[in-house]
Amino acid sequence: MVDWVKSLSRVLYIDLSRKLFWVENREDLFSKWLGGIGVAIQLYREEVPKGADPLGPENTAIFAVGPLTGVYPMASKVVAVFKSPLNGFVAESHGGGRAATAIRFAGYGAIVIKGASDMPIYVVVDEEKVRFRDAGALWGMRSSETVGRVLREALPGAGYRTIMRIGRAGERLVRYATLTAETYRHFGRMGLGAVFGSKKLKALVVIGKKGFKLPDIKAYREVYRELYELTRGPSTRKYHDLGTAANVVPLDKLGALPTRNFSSGRFEGAREISGEKLAEENLARRLACTACPVACIHLAAIREEYEDEKYFYKTEFVPYDHEPIYSLGSNLGISDRYGLLKLIKAVEDEGIDAITTGVVLAWATEALEKGIISIKETLVELRWGNWRNYIKAVNYIVLQPNEFYKSLGLGVEEAASRYGGLEFALAYNKVEPAGYHTGPLFHASLAIGFRHSHLDSGAYSIDQNLVASGASLPSPEDAAKLIIGEESWRQVLNSLVICLFARSVYTGKIVEKALKALGYDIDELTLVNLGKRIYLEKHRTKALEGFKPDQVRIPRRFLETPTPLGQVSEEYLRKIIAYYSKLVSESTESTL
Amino acid sequence: MKRLVVVDSNRCVGCDLCVYACTNRYGHIGISKSAIHVRSAGGVERGFVVIVCRACKDPPCARACPVNALTLRQGGGVVLNPSKCIGCGFCVNACDIGAVMWDSEFMKPVICTHCGYCVTFCPHNVLSLEEVG
């Protein structure tokens, strides 16, 4: 076996119940499944029994990196796999910052966190050991930013460590709490923060300074240089210039920018909260994840004068991306840029998923408007554009002063099942949608994608290409094949682990070369097939947990509000879902 | 002779590609063999500190070496003779800017040779190689 696989195959197991740790050599997994999601899904199957409570000690948080981590530009992500407390199924979330390289250079290919502590703790991992530390002083801290600062100052390893932590939302088990790394990057979706909270795990710090000898430095340098040039090329330029916020104006022009709870695809305030306007008025700094030349992380600075004293200011930094601009901006009717940034900041401090939070609040606003609920429930007037009250509501979601906010903390589907308004409670399989209303392929991909995320297959761009070319919709079967094909290939990238913003750089040919320079003998076709196998492994795992795609609820709102490709037909979506369902169930039967 | 300089650390996005380039000179990936180090200036929103050897004319690291393993480099800074080095680490402590790194595998310092390889891989023009008299 390749030496490279050997060095990657060390898996660190941490048992929080017994405060024990050990390392196992899992060459069996890393030689077969590369790394990242390929390995993580197998570890999940080993660790998490059927029927496990997502917030119980049986749930396991698995972090995995891959053979290219820290080796080539933009191989900068960690894959996390766990059972989601938001929808009760196996879930996957990706995070950047320094997490990927810190894990790899601490000498691990994966970290498996089992059990639950009986007291708040944080865990510090380095090349030699794991330390369990008392988190009593950190628990309940109002801002997750402060938690990061305290740990930064208390621990060694500045420049080659990751500080992954949860906010109050995670402690209080808000089902869509995030895990935050390096203050501005997140394992954002599906509630990994609540899983940490249920384990009384405030933070996971990984310090890694190791190096690894390359088998063929000449071959490596050649591929490296090619990738370095490509990752700085035109395909990643927009992420560098305006960041993902570059999408706001084009989507609005197209009529695909979700506005006021998806009641429209156009937002009259789009220009005010666009990437262009944010860059001109508020952009203060750009940051990169480790090993990434692009630096897509955009931080805005907001200056605020204290109400009680003239000329007394504070300046805060707020990360922005397309998704929070949609979910907390256009989708809540907020065009006041300052207000939007303040709202994003509140969401950051609490450590909750920006997308879900925005969709939950949009549902609550509409429910209040329609008289389904009253101010008795919402405690503050939730009205489109009123960001001050939305900030209060964000705090209430975390503090849960009444039954209503407790329900909001469970996600939009759960809240609407209790209070009504399911037809405008926007989620597929209890996962709230990303910021696109481009057409039927996007919606189908949310219904059948493993993560119910726009990142599963990027189908919003298939829709947009259809709009641009004026071509007619593919048949449902062809649409399903397109979505599933793309999602399958992305399993390769997510096993290596490559940031998906580099997806057009890391073609099959390049990946083959990149791996070859590390001693792997694996060709493009084999990679494609491996992607298909990983796809099936994942979707099968979810099917075995009881996921019934045919029963996925399609909220009426999604079908009513026209997309650039017209209204989405339910029949078309159902046919795509049926194709997917058949594919997964046949593969499940054939191998069990 | 040339020396490596940090032109503007405010342009640094913290990608660490300079660090990886440096380690790469030894045929390794990672951080352990890098003579350049990047860390946040106390939270990434404040930007980054880029630590490199500034090629002192009268380098404290050389003066601290008890075995003359560090000799003066033409144009500033020092050259390491690894065969002489006993791995005491005095040079690391002597450098107030923290630019003498440590290779914990070989238990010897990592000394910047001002080769400029890192400059080639800095995407945002933070570093440059400048001519010195």
Tell me the nearest-neighbour CA distance from B14 into chain A, angstroms: 6
User: CB pairs below 8 Å between A and B: how many?
Assistant: 90
**Residue A221: count of CB within 10 angstroms of its CB:** 14
B121 has a chain A CB within 8 A of its CB: yes
- Record: contact B39-A182, CB cut-off 8 A: no
Residue from A144, A164, A189 nearest A324 by CA: A189
Tell me the nearest-neighbour CA distance from A214 into chain B, angstroms: 5
B105 has a chain A CB within 8 A of its CB: yes
Instruction: For residues B10 and B38, state if they share a domain.
Output: yes
From the list A101, A184, A209, the residue facing B44 with the nearest CB is: A184
B25 assigned to some structural domain = yes
Instruction: For residues B64 and B103, state if they share a domain.
Output: yes
Mean pLDDT of B36-42: 95
Instruction: For residues B20 and B34, state if they share a domain.
Output: yes
- Whether A278 and A320 have beta carbons less than 8 Å apart is answered as yes
From the list B14, B31, B32, the residue facing A288 with the nearest CB is: B14
Q: Which residues of A touch B52 (CB under 8 A)?
A: none
Q: Which structure tokens are listed for A580?
A: 């997917």
From the list B13, B14, B31, the residue facing A211 with the nearest CB is: B31
- Record: contact B17-A293, CB cut-off 8 A: yes
- Record: contact B30-A212, CB cut-off 8 A: yes
Question: Which of A151, A185, A237, A290 to mutate to test binding with chain B, by most B CBs within 10 Å of its CB?
Answer: A290
What was the pLDDT predicted at A580?
96
What was the pLDDT predicted at B74?
92
Residue from B22, B2, B4, B17 nearest B97 by CA: B4
pLDDT (tens digit, 0 to 9) for every residue of chain A, 592 residues total? 568 999 999 999 999 999 999 999 999 999 999 999 999 999 999 999 999 999 999 999 999 999 999 999 999 999 999 999 999 999 999 999 999 999 999 999 999 999 999 999 999 999 999 999 999 999 999 888 899 999 999 999 999 999 999 999 999 999 999 999 999 999 999 999 999 999 999 999 999 999 899 999 999 999 999 999 999 999 899 899 999 999 999 999 999 999 999 999 999 999 999 999 999 999 999 999 999 999 999 999 999 999 999 999 999 999 999 999 999 999 999 999 999 999 999 999 999 999 999 999 999 999 999 999 999 999 999 999 999 999 999 999 999 999 999 999 999 999 999 999 999 999 999 999 999 999 999 999 999 999 999 999 999 999 999 999 999 999 999 999 999 999 999 999 999 999 999 999 999 999 999 999 999 999 999 999 999 999 999 999 999 999 999 999 999 999 999 999 999 999 999 999 999 999 988 886 665 4
Question: Which of A65, A160, A225, A303 to mutate to test binding with chain B, by most B CBs within 10 Å of its CB?
Answer: A160
Nearest chain A alpha carbon to B25? A217
> What is the DSSP code string of A406-420?
HHHTT-HHHHHHHHS
d(CA B63, CA B56) in angstroms, rounded, equals 12
3-state secondary structure A110-136: EEEEECCCCCCEEEEECCCCEEEEECC
- Whether B95 and B109 have beta carbons less than 8 Å apart is answered as no
Residue A571: in which H helix or E strand, if any? helix A570-591
Q: Is A505 helix (H, G, I), strand (E, B) or coil?
A: coil
Q: What are phi and psi of A392, to 5 degrees?
A: -60, -40
B133 assigned to some structural domain = no
Q: Which structure tokens are listed for B70?
A: 């560090």
d(CA B64, CA A553) in angstroms, rounded, equals 72
B122 assigned to some structural domain = yes
Instruction: For residues B22 and B35, state if they share a domain.
Output: yes
Residue from A87, A86, A93 nearest A37 by CA: A93
Instruction: For residues B103 and B64, state if they share a domain.
Output: yes
Instruction: For residues B61 and B48, state if they share a domain.
Output: no
Instruction: For residues B15 and B30, state if they share a domain.
Output: yes
Q: Which residues of B touch A144 (CB under 8 A)?
A: none
d(CA A136, CA A120) in angstroms, rounded, equals 6
DSSP state of A96: -
d(CA A578, CA A588) in angstroms, rounded, equals 15
- Record: contact B31-A221, CB cut-off 8 A: no
d(CA A58, CA A422) in angstroms, rounded, equals 32
Nearest chain A alpha carbon to B124? A293
d(CA A128, CA A113) in angstroms, rounded, equals 17
List residues of chain A with CB under 8 Å from any CB of chain B: 70-71, 73, 101, 104-105, 148-149, 152, 158-160, 182-184, 208-214, 217, 221, 224, 228, 232, 284-293, 295, 299, 317
B107 has a chain A CB within 8 A of its CB: no
Q: Which residues of B touch A158 (CB under 8 A)?
A: 39-40
Q: Which structure tokens are listed for A430?
A: 């209890």
- Whether A133 and A34 have beta carbons less than 8 Å apart is answered as no
Q: Which residues of A touch B11 (CB under 8 A)?
A: none
B98 has a chain A CB within 8 A of its CB: no
What residues make up the domain containing B48?
A: 1-52+112-128
B118 assigned to some structural domain = yes
Cα A554 versus chain centre, distance: 22
What was the pLDDT predicted at A591?
54
B3 assigned to some structural domain = yes
Q: What are phi and psi of A337, to 5 degrees?
A: -60, -40
Torsion (CA) A103, A104, A106, A107 in degrees, nearest 10: 130
- Record: contact B32-A209, CB cut-off 8 A: yes
How many domains are contained in chain B? 2
From the list A105, A149, A287, the residue facing B13 with the nearest CB is: A287
Residue from A16, A93, A7, A1 nearest A47 by CA: A16
CATH assignment of the domain containing B61:
3.30.70.20
Instruction: For residues B84 and B45, state if they share a domain.
Output: no
Instruction: For residues B41 and B2, state if they share a domain.
Output: yes
From the list B24, B40, B45, the residue facing A317 with the nearest CB is: B45
pLDDT, tens digit (0-9, with 9 covering 90-100), for B42-99: 999 999 999 999 999 999 999 999 999 999 999 999 999 999 999 999 999 999 999 9
B94 has a chain A CB within 8 A of its CB: no
Q: What are phi and psi of B52, to 5 degrees?
A: -135, 160
B48 assigned to some structural domain = yes
d(CA A260, CA A288) in angstroms, rounded, equals 32
Tell me the nearest-neighbour CA distance from B57 into chain A, angstroms: 28
- Record: contact B45-A212, CB cut-off 8 A: no
What was the pLDDT predicted at A585?
87
Instruction: For residues B27 and B44, state if they share a domain.
Output: yes
Cα A196 versus chain centre, distance: 16
B42 assigned to some structural domain = yes
- Record: contact B28-A212, CB cut-off 8 A: yes
B41 assigned to some structural domain = yes
What was the pLDDT predicted at A145?
86
Instruction: For residues B12 and B28, state if they share a domain.
Output: yes
- Record: contact B28-A213, CB cut-off 8 A: yes
The ipTM (two decimal places) reads 0.96
- Record: contact A228-B27, CB cut-off 8 A: no
Instruction: For residues B106 and B116, state if they share a domain.
Output: no
Q: Which structure tokens are listed for A78?
A: 């960690």
Q: Which residues of A touch B43 (CB under 8 A)?
A: 148-149, 152, 183
What was the pLDDT predicted at A592?
44
